[in-house]
Structure 1
Amino acid sequence: MSSGMAGANTEQPAGTRRNRTSEAGPAARRASRATDTNTEERVAVWDAVAAYVQEHLLVQKGVWIPTFGSFDTISKDIRTADGTVTLRWPVFQLARNLRAMHHLGSDKDSLPAHREVETLKYSEVAAAASVTWQRGKTCIQSTVSLLSNCLKNGENVAFVLKDIGVLLFEGMSFGIKYYYDFLEKLSGKEKFRKVVFKAPWLLDTLVSRVAPVASLTHSGHLVVFPM
């Protein structure tokens, strides 16, 4: 996805939670009123989800978040003038129900065919977010429903995953851009730094923590999750 269009001055950095209702589209506002989780709780739960995912990816274990999608890592060969370097690369596969319902095309990187991933443990996420198991699960499910509602109404969406990156939905496509330091952790700082400037196209897979989220889309307008 293009990162060429600059956002408005009112946009906050990609890693910042945007809590004001006015920043959400009409579909998001309607759906948000129908859920029973508040913004602070939703952010805490999804930050815990992101921490859980990152912890597992760093030890090469995949995670499935029911109705949302799966995270895992693959070996990715990066060809440079000095030879080929193999990196550990994160992959997100959107849940089939969301892809089919909203006719979304798949990202170019996919998970291995018969790779088994672990189902997200709601109890661990809830404990980290200081909510009950039931509240944690409800929060995740309601957020996915809210996301689906926004996509149904044709709104572009940026889903911020703390310390991992930003999942982008624009039109009928989706993809994910990662934070530089997260990719460093997966492959090793020295190896990643050695290759990233010798394969300039890798820079297109990165997102800055301080970049306006609106700069990640052609339209300059996004609904930002979690909200």
Structure 2
Amino acid sequence: MARQLFLQPHLSPTIEKLERYEFAKIWASTSYHLSLQLALHQAVRIPGIGTFAVVRKRVALSEQDLVIVERPVFRPEKAVVQDHELRYGCKDFPGHQDFEQLPYAEIASENAVSEGTVELYMERTTHLFHACVENGQNVAIIWRDVGMLIVQGKDMKMRFYLHFLERLNGTGKMLQALLEMPEMRDSVISRHDTAASQTSSGRVIVLPWYQLETVPKMPALIDLKGCVKGKGDGLWCEPAPAANLCARDQCRNPRAGFP
């Protein structure tokens, strides 16, 4: 029955609203569990997309001050890069490691749907991602608790949210050392940044909602104190995430429907 959701071109307004809300909740749970597994140092493979992991690096703040940082990394599947001739740099991904899958059964239980429905939504997102890349469109997959994977032309880049890096490293020396690493200088964004602002054209298809997002390019810059510099010279710091927001409120645009 769940597979028919994407085969019916015309659903009643009530069913369409329910479907969008259900999808928003499921994706919010998916994002949360991805961040949780990474915080527990479990590498996570998302079929058709790639694998996330966390590596530990010894970084020198000074000649006598060494810290060990927790750095998230992403490696796309070889087939994704080869089939679409994408460019992606990943030099220090841990090898010979056990990879976990997202806990589909737990995500399904949290949202009172079947495990097959969760898998169907994931397959749909993966299919749309490949279709957009094949058509030469800018595309971004958003995980609100982790970051966003962006393909612009032939370039693929994973950018991680500052609040996720803080979850891994805290807000002290570890975070400072991580942000100063050359590998992270163009890989950190604020939760307030949009996917479109990370592209030169200011246009991108945002997944999993399959929504065209356009915005004038005005990227925010994050300083080493965790503050964001936007228009003008003012600085503002990210507020702490609200603990009790529902999944619909936490998703970027739960009102955006399916194509």
- Asked if these proteins are the same fold (TM beyond 0.5), I'd say yes
Q: How far apart in 1 are the matches of 2:130 and 2:156?
A: 13
Q: CA RMSD, aligned part only?
A: 2.6
Which of structures 1 and 2 has the larger relative contact order (alpha carbons within 8 angstroms, sep 6+)? Answer: 1
Q: How far apart in 1 are the matches of 2:166 and 2:144?
A: 15
TM-score, with structure 2 as normaliser = 0.67
1:49 maps to which of 24, 30, 35: 30
Check if 1:85 corresponds to 2:85: no
1:118 maps to which of 83, 93, 100: 100
Deviation at 1:218, TM superposition (A): 1.1
Deviation at 1:135, TM superposition (A): 0.4
Deviation at 1:106, TM superposition (A): 2.6
The gaps in structure 1 that reach 5 residues or longer are 1-31
Secondary structure of the residue aligned to 1:54 is: helix
Q: Which amino acid aligns with 1:119?
A: Q
Question: Superposed, which structure 2 residues align to 1:106-145 within 5 Å?
Answer: 106-145=88-127
Q: Which amino acid aligns with 1:66?
A: P
Question: Superposed, which structure 2 residues align to 1:167-186 within 5 Å?
Answer: 167-186=149-168
Identity of aligned residues (%): 27
Secondary structure of the residue aligned to 1:167 is: strand
TM-score, with structure 1 as normaliser = 0.75
Say whether the 8 Å CA contact 2:53–2:73 is kept in structure 1: yes
Deviation at 1:108, TM superposition (A): 2.8
Q: How far apart in 1 are the matches of 2:177 and 2:30?
A: 30
Cα gap change, 1:62/1:42 in structure 2, threshold over 3 Å: closer, same or farther? same
Say whether the 8 Å CA contact 1:79–1:199 is kept in structure 2: no
Say whether the 8 Å CA contact 1:45–1:140 is kept in structure 2: no
Q: How far apart in 1 are the matches of 2:7 and 2:83?
A: 21
Structure with a larger share of its residues in strand: 2
Cα gap change, 1:114/1:53 in structure 2, threshold over 3 Å: closer, same or farther? same
Cα gap change, 1:175/1:198 in structure 2, threshold over 3 Å: closer, same or farther? closer
Q: How far apart in 2 are the matches of 1:158 and 1:48?
A: 18
Say whether the 8 Å CA contact 2:74–2:90 is kept in structure 1: no
Q: How far apart in 1 are the matches of 2:135 and 2:8?
A: 18
Tell me the residue number matched to 1:70.
Answer: 51
Q: How far apart in 2 are the matches of 1:194 and 1:170?
A: 29
